[in-house]
Amino acid sequence: MSDKLATILQAARNHAEQVILPNVDAWNAAKKWPRQASDKAGAAGLTGLYAPEEFGGQGLPLSEGIQVYEQLGLGDGAYAFALSMHNICTFAGCGYGTDAFKEKWARDLTSGRKLANFALTEPQSGSDPMNMYSRATINGDGTWSIRGAKAWVSLATEADIYFTVVKTSDAPGHNDMAMIAIPADAPGLSFGPLYDTPSYNFLPLAEMYMDEVVVDEANIILPIGRGLQGSLMAIDIARVSIASGCCGLMQAALDTALSYSKNRKMFGGKNLDLDGIQWMLGEVATDLEASKLLYQKAAESLGTPEGPLMAAHAKRFVPDAAVKAANTCTQVLGGMGLLQPYGLDRLSRLAQMLRIVDGTTEISRVVIGRALQQRSSTLPNLSVPKGYGETW
């Protein structure tokens, strides 16, 4: 591991231990994004992970930067998720944005002074982004006008810019999709009421409405025809980032269970002396090790032809393992596991949320299923041996 990566991972761990964990319950009670905390994340170098150093970023490869979320996930999975989306948008803006966009936004984004998020989902289309209604049209002067509605926009009302995927015609398919960065103060941009999500209420989520929003062509991040492919690449990075964050969540659940169990007296010994408890926690430990290997392999494959499939494997397996881990660890504490100070109920709800966001477990299965069909086409046909039944 390079010195640079070790320093960033330590900074992320310190951020989880010193900034997130002591405050996350208060953030949830206040129902407000902790801007001072994300400012500190910026100062610690956690908001420009993949952006080039010339723009103030860390210049880490995806395979390394993604490990940051494992550390942040020790604190809170929703916070880790929001920073991962900011980092992906910053990566896109610094990599694919116009020179004018980079000049105006790059350093503010990499420093975390300004926050970004990604808006793809719409009220009628989550898993099926082709069913998108948001439309952008190019005006005579080169500006673009955008109308439509997005749903489940994270950092809604808090981000300074929204990387928004739109269609540019009524033609079916994705060939006309583009990604446009809409500044929060663009006239015509507004938000619905914040969703009520008790276990991560500090993360503002809402619908986003675009009523003839006009943006400069300098804000086109991915031009017509590259919007969906670029979004899918962003989502693959997000899927692996979520798997990384889930590993932190699993470690946090396991450590809580161990700290309690080694101290809880029963049957003349300690809870952790019981074989049954060791087996339960042993399964969590194995799932955690497998999850780490899987997300790291998926992170290394991003940008290669295997990237989408490996991201699907990681997103299918790891959040499920995290749900099981959080529930198992709750069970190990008995009734105490349900009480607020231990945080296990919050971890269970977060793990379930991470099964849904950025492509559900079922959508990952669809991606894996298609890859299996492709592989099957390269294999010989296996038919029933003579005398064992009808033809297939």
CB environment 143-159: b (16+ within 10 A), e (fewer): ebbbbbbbbbbbbbebb
Nearest CA to 83 out of 196, 159, 7, 179 is that of: 159
- Closer CB to ligand FAD, 82 or 284, in the complex: 82
CA distances from 321 to 243, 246, 328, 351, 388 (A): 10, 8, 10, 9, 40
CA distance 288 to 16: 19
x/- string (CB under 6 A) for ligand FAD, residues 71-100?
A: --------------x---------------
Residue from 71, 121, 201, 327 that binds ligand FAD (CB under 6 A)? 121
Question: Which residue has the CB atom at the shortest distance from ligand FAD?
Answer: 126
Sign (positive/negative) of CA torsion 171, 176, 179, 181?
negative
Shortest Å distance, C-beta 7 to ligand FAD:
29
Residue from 49, 89, 115, 119 that binds ligand FAD (CB under 6 A)? 119
One-letter identity of residue 38 = S
Shortest Å distance, C-beta 20 to ligand FAD:
17
CA distance 227 to 221: 9
Shortest Å distance, C-beta 211 to ligand FAD:
19
Residue from 23, 154, 291, 348 that binds ligand FAD (CB under 6 A)? 154
Shortest Å distance, C-beta 151 to ligand FAD:
7
Of 18-57, which residues contact ligand FAD (CB under 6 A)?
Answer: none
x/- string (CB under 6 A) for ligand FAD, residues 320-359?
A: ---------------------------------x--xxxx
SS3 176: coil
177 binds ligand FAD (CB under 6 A): no
One-letter identity of residue 275 = D
Shortest Å distance, C-beta 164 to ligand FAD:
9
Residue from 205, 234, 249, 284 that binds ligand FAD (CB under 6 A)? 205
One-letter identity of residue 3 = D
- Closer CB to ligand FAD, 186 or 356, in the complex: 356
Task: Judge contact between 220 and 144, C-beta under 8 A.
Answer: yes
Nearest CA to 46 out of 85, 78, 74 is that of: 85
Residues that bind ligand FAD (CB under 6 A): 85, 117-121, 126-127, 152-154, 205, 353, 356-360, 362-363, 366
